Chain A
Amino acid sequence: MSEALALSGVDALYGESHVLHEVSFTLSAGKVLALLGRNGAGKTTCMSAIIGFLPPRRGEIRLFGEPVSRLVPEAIARKGVGFVPQGRRIFPTLTVRENLIVSGRSRAGAPVPWNLERVVALFPRLKERLQQVAGSLSGGEQQMLAIGRALMGNPRVLLMDEPSEGLAPLIVAEVGRTIARLKQEGQSILLVEQNIKLALDLADEVVILNTGRVAFSGSAGEVRSDQVLITQHLGVF
């Protein structure tokens, strides 16, 4: 199975504070990898390193075998890394339609390319609100817009930072179904999530970070059956 995204020995620092220590993991093509850990474990920092906001001090990040860790954020995005940021971060003053078209990018070799029609078919609620200013959407709709915006770039790897955060249970379930559907279509996804149950339901593989180090790496099944691991590193259930 080919690797979609691989981190090997990545060290990242905010100024002098060492946040990631030799983080290594591999996301296989067409799979969902859940990146779990407590607050401050380094999950979001990991995302920042991958998308180029915080270039790693040491180590390498590869996208389908091609090193991307020395590129600027816009170049990494163009190589095919799509990002759904934590807290949605849609463009509030732009219309829903504009939010989607600003990230529109076609990519050769994408099986069923994402475009405006397909995105609004995936999220029918956005269709009714295309001309509406995005800041007026509800939290759930904004999350769908953020996911749609990332899909419009036809990413080869989709990074999602806590897509269920702050949403009502019904909407969380809808987001979960959407991720499951994307996975079914062969989308490679790196998922950061505080909602452990949602993450374990969706993920094939799990990486648990603890204070910036990889504490566990294995299949989702292993985590589900290992209560000790869950209480030790995630502190929930």
Chain B
Amino acid sequence: MKWARWALLAVALAAFPWIAGEYYINLTSQIFIAATFAASLNLLVGYGGLPSLGHASWLGLAAYLSAWMSLKLGLGHALTAPAALLGTTLVACAFGWISLRATGLGFLMITLALSQVLWGTAYRWVSVTDGDNGLRGLTRPAPFGISLDGATSFYYFALAVTVVAITLMAMFVASPFGAALRGTRDQPRRMSALGHDVWTVRWITFVYSAFWGAVSGLLFVYYNKYIHPASLSITSSAEALLGVIAGGSGTLAGPIVGAAIIMLLKNYVSAYIERWNMLMGFVFVLIVIFMPEGVVPGVRRLYLRLRKWRTG
């Protein structure tokens, strides 16, 4: 039964570009990117209990590094992609070391401050980042000689990366290390009495989460062929955090659903309603009122209640 559901989902995802128009194919590719980004943030927020308001740093930094290396140094994608991931992960090692001096609100404020530093740099260091103009004129990679310029080929590329990313994040959470991480979220002192170095558990998670944020950043810059400081802004971080919370933090499907809701509101609804921001706020208020635990756990709860009611 469970396998049938997974198979159905796989077929639907694989067949989607054949039935949908280009606009929807591109919209879905963007949902994949946002889902990977939100899922990486969920490792910290949902499983580590560490609310970050600076996660856009990793998406933006990886995108900027890759764009800068290909534009200013003339390097190919085969070099820029691993170098951007490595560079971003190294910065995350340092940022994590600083941010994890605190937890809770303190952690939130430090991650926000550090990401603002990156955002400000992207804005002001015009000779490197082209400031408010952003870095433009980028290309998409062509892995194994397959061009990703078409909507369909990019869709499959983004889908493949997203599936790998989410699978590896799910394995991380389900591993003994993931159990230890959830233990540090619930009872940090108890974990140290069991011999776990709580700080190190959190730091490894911070870096791992940033790595997948960087992967989504590469997808983002490949998709848009353009990167602007706005991607590093607090709005970008907050949007991802809202997606995680709205979808259901600490669940695997939650951030995916949350990211999809935001992407649909942002791209699809905005074509019909001018004040779509208001609608987005309204949707979040409704979610918070009716499903404070998030859409995924909320729907599951309603479904179970409905089934109970039906069976009497």
Contact = CB atoms under 8 A, between A and B. Distances in A.
A binds B: yes
Contacts of A89: 187, 190
A53 B193 contact: yes
Nearest to A155: B195
B186 A73 contact: no
Given A91-B186, A91-B187, A92-B186, A73 B192 contact: yes
Interface string B209-223: 000000000000000
Contacts of B189: 53, 73
B195 A91 contact: no
A210 to B, nearest CB: 27
A93 interface: yes
Interface stretch (A17-25, A95-103, A217-225): A95-103
B193 A83 contact: yes
Contact of A77 (B176, B179, B182, B194): B194
B187 to A, nearest CB: 6
Given A77-B194, A83-B194, 13 more contacts: A74-B193, A74-B197, A77-B193, A83-B193, A85-B193, A91-B186, A93-B186, A94-B182, A98-B179, A101-B179, A102-B179, A102-B180, A102-B191
Contact of B194 (A52, A53, A153): A153
A187 B193 CA distance: 19
Given A93-B182, A102-B183, A85 B190 contact: yes
A51 interface: yes
28 contacts: A51-B193, A52-B193, A53-B189, A53-B193, A74-B192, A74-B193, A74-B196, A77-B193, A77-B194, A77-B195, A83-B194, A85-B190, A89-B187, A89-B190, A91-B187, A92-B186, A93-B182, A93-B186, A94-B182, A94-B186, A98-B176, A99-B179, A102-B176, A102-B183, A102-B196, A103-B195, A149-B194, A153-B194
From DSSP, what is the main secondary structure of chain A's interface residues?
Answer: loop
A72 to B, nearest CB: 7
B182 A104 contact: no
B176 A74 contact: no
A101 B176 contact: yes
A78 to B, nearest CB: 5
B255 to A, nearest CB: 18
Interface residues of B, number: 17
B252 to A, nearest CB: 15
A105 interface: yes
B176 A73 contact: no
B194 A103 contact: yes
Nearest to B191: A102
A51 B194 CA distance: 10
Contacts of A72: 192
Nearest to A78: B195
Contact of B195 (A74, A92, A94): A74
Contacts of B191: 102
B179 A94 contact: yes
A91 B190 contact: yes
A73 B194 CA distance: 8
Contacts of B179: 94, 98-99, 101-102
Contacts of B192: 72-74, 77
Interface string A99-126: 1011111000000000000000000000
Contacts of B196: 74, 102
Nearest to B178: A98
Nearest to B181: A102
A51 B182 CA distance: 22
Nearest to B196: A74
Interface string B153-195: 0000000000000000000000010011011001101111111
Nearest to B194: A103
A83 B192 CA distance: 11
Contact of B193 (A73, A94, A99): A73
A99 B195 CA distance: 14
Contacts of A92: 186
Interface in A111-160: 149, 153
A53 to B, nearest CB: 7
Nearest to A80: B195
Contacts of A101: 176, 179
Contacts of A93: 182, 186
Nearest to A51: B193
A89 B186 CA distance: 10
A53 B140 CA distance: 54
Contacts of A149: 194
Interface in A37-96: 51-53, 72-74, 77-78, 83, 85, 89, 91-94
B190 A94 contact: no
A69 B145 CA distance: 62
Given A78-B195, A91-B183, A153-B195, A104 B176 contact: yes
Nearest to A149: B194
B183 A94 contact: yes
B248 to A, nearest CB: 14
B41 to A, nearest CB: 19
